[in-house]
Amino acid sequence: MAEMQGESRQDAPQWPGWLAATATCIRFYSRLPLPRLPGEGDPHALPDFRSVPRALPLAALVIALPAALVLLAGGLAGINPYLAATLAITALALTTGAFHEDGLADTADGLFGGATPERRLDIMKDSRVGSYGAMALGLSLLLRVTALAGILQAAGDWAGAAAVLVAAAWSRADGVRLLANEVPARATGASAAVGRPSNETAWIAVALALVLGLAVTAASGLPLGGFALGLILAGLAAAWLARLARRLIGGQTGDIIGAAQQLSEIAIYCGFAFMLGAR
Burial of 162 (0-12, 13-18, 19+ CB in 10 A): buried
Confidence of residue 84 (pLDDT cuts 50, 70, 90): very high
Note whether 59 and 25 are within 8 A (CB).
yes
The boundaries of the domain holding residue 208 are: 2-277
CB 109 within 8 A of CB 133: yes
Give the global pTM: 0.89
pLDDT at 188: 67
What local confidence, expressed as pLDDT, does residue 8 receive?
Answer: 41
Split into its structural domains, the chain has a count of: 1
Write the pLDDT tens digit of every residue in 178-234.
Answer: 988 888 887 666 655 667 888 888 999 999 999 999 999 999 999 999 999 999 999
Instruction: Evaluate whether 232 touches 70 at the Cβ level (below 8 Å).
Output: no
For 140-162, what is each residue's pLDDT tens digit?
999 999 999 999 999 999 999 99
Confidence of residue 5 (pLDDT cuts 50, 70, 90): very low
Q: How far apart are the first and last CA of the chain?
A: 49
Please check whether residue 91 is in contact with residue 67, taking contact to mean a CB–CB distance below 8 angstroms: yes
Over residues 132-141, mean pLDDT: 95
Q: In this structure, are residues 50 and 5 in contact, taking their beta carbons and an 8 Å threshold?
A: no
What's the pLDDT at 147? 97
Nearest to 166 by CA among 237, 229, 103, 102: 229
